[in-house]
Structure formats: C-alpha cells, structure tokens
C-alpha cells in the first residue's frame, strides 16, 4: 500500500479539532498509532472515538504545548511505548489586529502557543529522531510569506514557524530527519468560525462569504484536503522532500490580482 504509516508512532498537536483532527483520522487510517496532544481533552475524545470506530489506534494526552515541562513529560510517556517517527506541529491560535491594536499580552499569547509550542515539541523529540530518523511537519500559513491584513501577531508567529522549519531541516538533514511545512489559506474549521464570531459579531455570514472569495478558487479549503497533503509529506513516498513549504491555498498566493 502506498502512503502506509503502519508501525509508525505519530504525535499530532491540536488533534482534537479542524485540521489536526483530520490529520489524526487520516494518519490512523493508514495504520499509524496517533498520539494526540490537546489543550482541550474533550475535543480529542471525538477524534479518538472516530479513529477507534474504524479500528485505528490513537491515544490522547492533556497538554498545553506552550508549557515545556508538560510537553517533555508527555513525550517521555510516549517514548516508553516506542520511538516517535513523525511529529505534526499543528496546534495554533488565531489573532486579528494590526500593530496599533495588538497588545503586548496578545503578542505573548500568540508567541507562546504558535512559536514556543512548536519549539517545545521539536525540542522534545529531536534527540530520539537523531538516533532513528524521523519526519517533522509544521503548520505554517499563507501569512508566513505574504501580507495578510489585520494579522500582525499571527503573521509574526507563522513567519517563525516557516523559518524554524528551514533551520531544523538544515541542522538535521545528516541525521535522517526531514522537516517541511504546509501553508494553508483559509480552511473551514472551528478556528475560522471562532474568530469570525469573536471579531465580526452580527456580520458572520457576510464575513464567511468574503473569506471564501479571497481564495481565487472561490471557497475555503477542507481539513481533509490538508490532511492528505500532510500524509504524503510524512510518508516514505516523500523521502526526497525536506526544507520546503507547501502552500495549499486555492490559488491565493499566485493567482490573486
Ligand atoms: N483554518 C485555517 O484557515 C488555517 C489557515 C492556515 C493555517 N492554519 C493553522 O492550522 C492549525 C490548525 O488550525 P485549525 O483551523 O484546525 O484550528 P482549530 O482551532 O480548529 O484547532 C486547533 C486545535 O489546537 C488545540 N490547541 C490550541 N492551543 C493549544 C495548546 N496551547 N496546546 C495544545 N493544543 C492546543 C485546540 O484545542 C484545537 O483543538 C493552526 O496552527 C492554524 O494556525 C489554519
């Protein structure tokens, strides 16, 4: 079978919702044992139920990726069951605002989850991967490489996710570790519904339409579409790919304008 993840231990952060949930389900369907690190363990229950219903293997752990001690302790627990072959750094939070209305506390919050969370997870798994090889996939964004209005703190964080990807890919290429990132445009997940609700109350429908149209293809992406790209990049079929970012954007970066 192509794209098999049989006997692979995969760690997915934020696997309880949206893109992370789709990745967890798709990877488990390919035979992986999926370990979900989730801030909201209740969310992860749904993912686990879905995976187990189809005979897959998954375990969830309550974990705030921004907390290094917490991440290290969960990773130690997982390592007792075997090597971690694949890490998917997916957990992330949104923030809307330009530099004038972005508070210091907003910057810290977005930094702690999106940047430090990614760092914490990579730091926790890297020594094991140095011995056995592995794959790291980071969830960046179109905001990593093009200007998106009103996303000052978020863009800062996703730019860092992209450049951390290049740094890890370079430093660990000789150890058999591949590191890539995915840059989605708007994907329809609770993350999108949540920030529309919070930031455009009363205008939800109009904002949803507007955000759909910002992709030249005319709609938002689906979590499964991202999960299938993630599967390819984490599979042995992608063994020649490292240090690369993959936009999945309905034409957003190259076809707008
Ligand atoms: N949806 C989009 O349009 C879009 C576009 C580009 C990039 N992304 C990125 O994709 C990733 C997933 O987005 P989504 O839309 O599926 O989001 P989502 O909000 O639907 O899911 C994110 C999950 O991460 C978990 N999480 C949040 N903070 C955490 C923490 N500190 N520790 C552990 N878990 C935590 C949440 O509980 C949630 O289950 C994010 O990194 C996001 O920035 C999303």
Tell me the pLDDT tens digit for each residue of 31-68: 999 999 999 999 999 999 999 999 999 999 999 999 99
Question: Domain tally for the chain?
Answer: 2
Q: How far is the CA of 174 from the centre of ligand 1 (A)?
A: 31
Q: How far is the CA of 202 from the centre of ligand 1 (A)?
A: 24
Q: What is the DSSP letter of 111?
A: I
Q: Are 35 and 58 in contact (CB under 8 A)?
A: yes
Q: Are 178 and 169 in contact (CB under 8 A)?
A: yes
| Model confidence, pTM | 0.97
Nearest CA among 205, 207, 96, 82 for reference residue 154: 96
Q: List beta partners, residue 60.
A: 36
Environment class of 7 (CB within 10 Å of its CB; exposed 0-12, middle 13-18, buried 19+):
exposed
Residues 156 and 254: their CA atoms lie apart, in Å, by: 21
Q: Which of 11, 18, 115, 140 to mutate to test the pocket of ligand 1 (most atoms within 8 A of CB)?
A: 18
Please indicate, yes or no, if residue 106 is contained in any of the structural domains: yes
197 and 174 fall within a common domain: no
146 and 214 fall within a common domain: no
Res. 15: pLDDT tops 80: yes
CATH classification of the domain holding 60: 3.40.50.720
For 75-131, what is each residue's pLDDT tens digit?
999 999 999 999 999 999 999 999 999 999 999 999 999 999 999 999 999 999 999
Alpha-helical runs (H) found in 54-116: 68-79, 104-110
Residues 144 and 150: their CA atoms lie apart, in Å, by: 14
**What range does the domain containing 180 cover?**
9-185+224-243
């Amino acid at each position: 079978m192509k794209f098999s993840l049989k006997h692979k231990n995969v760690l997915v952060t934020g696997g309880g919702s949206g893109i992370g949930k789709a990745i967890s389900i798709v990877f488990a369907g390919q035979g992986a044992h999926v370990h979900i690190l989730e801030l909201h363990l209740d969310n992860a229950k749904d993912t686990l139920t879905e995976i187990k219903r189809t005979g897959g293997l998954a375990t969830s752990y309550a974990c705030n990726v921004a907390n290094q001690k917490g991440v290290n302790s969960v990773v130690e627990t997982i390592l007792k069951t075997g090597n971690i072959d694949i890490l998917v750094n997916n957990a992330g939070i949104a923030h809307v605002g330009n530099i004038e209305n972005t508070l210091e506390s907003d910057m810290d919050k977005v930094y702690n989850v999106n940047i430090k969370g990614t760092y914490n997870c990579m730091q926790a798994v890297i020594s094991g991967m140095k011995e056995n090889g592995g794959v790291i996939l980071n969830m960046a964004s179109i905001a990593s490489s093009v200007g998106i209005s009103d996303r000052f703190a978020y863009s800062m964080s996703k730019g860092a996710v992209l450049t951390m990807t290049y740094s890890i890919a370079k430093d660990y290429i000789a150890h058999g570790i591949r590191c890539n990132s995915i840059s989605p445009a708007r994907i329809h997940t609770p993350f999108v519904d949540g920030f529309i609700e919070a930031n455009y109350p009363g205008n939800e429908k109009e904002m949803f339409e507007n955000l759909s149209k910002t992709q030249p293809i005319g709609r938002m992406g689906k979590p499964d579409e991202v999960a299938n790209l993630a599967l390819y990049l984490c599979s042995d079929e992608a063994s020649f790919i490292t240090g690369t970012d993959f936009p999945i954007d309905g034409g957003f970066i190259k076809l707008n304008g």
